[in-house]
C-alpha cells in the first residue's frame, strides 16, 4: 500500500470518492475531445 501511487494521492482511495478537482479536471478536456 505504501508503494502504491494511488494510496499516496489524497482522495484517490478506492473506498473514498475521488476528489472533485481530479474528477472534473479530466472530465472537461475529455468531453470536448471526444465530441470532436
Distance from C-alpha of 15 to C-alpha of 36, rounded to nearest angstrom: 34
Domain segments of the chain as ranges: 5-35
Summarize pLDDT for 1-36 with one digit per residue, the tens: 455 555 555 554 556 555 555 555 555 555 555 555
* pLDDT given at position 1: 45
pLDDT at position 4: 53
pTM check: above 0.85: no
Q: Which letter does DSSP use for residue 3 in this model?
A: T
How far is the C-alpha of 7 from the C-alpha of 32, rounded, in Å?
Answer: 30
Amino acid at each position: 500500500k505504501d508503494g502504491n501511487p494511488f494510496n499516496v494521492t489524497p482522495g484517490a482511495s478506492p473506498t473514498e470518492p475521488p476528489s472533485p478537482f481530479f474528477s472534473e479536471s479530466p472530465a472537461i478536456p475529455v468531453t470536448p475531445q471526444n465530441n470532436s
